[in-house]
Structure 1
Amino acid sequence: MKHICYLLLTLSLALLSSCEELFEYHPNQIILNDDERDLTAHNLARLQNQQPGDTLHLLVMGDTQRFYDAASAFVDAANTFPHIDFVIHQGDISDFGMSQEFRWVHDIMKRLKWPYLTVIGNHDMLGNGRKVYQQMYGDFNYAFDYGHTRFVFIDTNSLEYNYNGKVPDIDWLSKQLVHQEGDSWVQAIAVSHIPPYDDDFDTALERAFHRTLKESERVQLSLHGHIHGFRADFRYDEEVLYLATSTVKKREFTYLKVWAGGYSFDRIAY
């Protein structure tokens, strides 16, 4: 009897110790550690502890999806720069909107020497992705000031809302671009996943989006991802440059310098 009891106890312990191998979580289950939550607020707090110079130095990348090796190689390349203020991830962090995908990418991105900030992509809205993004990063639309520049991150994934006429939120965007007396910022940069000329952007809002940027008289540059290729053009007039950065799968990113009244960018292969 003792031998049987010992055998049953051993089997029970073995089952408990290997429970992760025996049971799989549902793919739409959201499982995050405390240090994987509210990452936008965490990285903005890091920015507040930095002193911006006259010229800001940014790295822009994105569309990591399942390209984990390429994303890891990007971090290695980014960490060779002597100074970067922060990194912008242009969305499509995940491929299927699963929490584990977001966690895998964050495990890579947290090796950066610099804070990183994200905008939500259309793939990040698949499955349970919207809830994952909100819990892991935060709001879909947010803005902050850093030195002389206001950065406005906005959800432009119109197709995922069935072109309901509310995304992007033009009224919200317009309010973020109102310069008040005493504000430290003198210019603004818009950041979103889908560029306004893309089919996934609500065509009914395309011109309104551009007009809002232009008429603010504060925006010269709008940053995007989604198209999986590099593209920089004055799509509508000579006022606002729409700059799309390629997917990390193609092993390239954008090195952006911003100063009061101007900017420059380089397309970097790695």
Structure 2
Amino acid sequence: MNTTPTTDVSAPAAPLVPGLLAGKVTLVIGAGRGIGAAAARLFAREGARVMLAARTEAQLKEVTEEIRASGGTAEHVVCDLADAAGVRAAVEHAVDRYGRLDAAFNNGAVAAPPGPMDQVREADFDRLYAVNLRGPWLAMVAEVAAIRATAGRGAIVNTSSVGGFAGNPVLPAYGALKRALNSLTESAAVTYGPEGIRVNAIAPGTTLTEMVHRWEEVSPGVVDQLNARTPLRRAADPGEIAEAAAWLLSDRSSYVTGAVLPVDGGMGV
């Protein structure tokens, strides 16, 4: 007797779900390491064509090659957020290479040695201002112009910090400039929302980046102290922070603008 089934009783194939950022051209500033590198990899996996920008070309090349080896689309350009011409050139490079700009993640930042406000060196404060506040301002201005001229509508996400939500006796200048970045983000959201350009920020808590590892070196035990103040009792992996940025840049957050989203394991609750 022929026992061969006459019909296919196997489970139906799951429908293909487009990536979160499918078809979008996305610029990631600060993409050489940490959260920015994790974001560039994630955005490419989610279907974006990614332009990576950072100060260190060797790091950019490494991440770009990783993305390409995994089947993603990526290019890179050297960019220092403290250099106005370089910031504008990075945005222009994305448009020149891919023909448009849909989304941008402004993640680059620097830190200063921890300590009270009267011990912050003037040169360190000036560098923090140039990179952590003036840089994102320059980037947003250039990105809005590029989105307006090409895609027409789009989204921008800035990286803030839970350190900017309240008084910060350990990182006072860093915290102050992150709080100022929150204000710039909100102002940009109000200004460009009528054009369909959304602007949000994420505020990471303790995240295992090179910056936090350096802090641990000069202040041993600080990560454990921060984790003890975090309801989830751990630090984040950079990829977890990148997930929040990807959602805010995607169409799935289409009614969200002007938000500063804590991604902090509950630290700020």
TM-score class, shorter-chain normalisation, is 0.3 to 0.5
TM-score normalised by length of structure 1: 0.39
Task: Give the structure with the larger strand fraction.
Answer: 1
Higher helix proportion (structure 1 or 2): 2
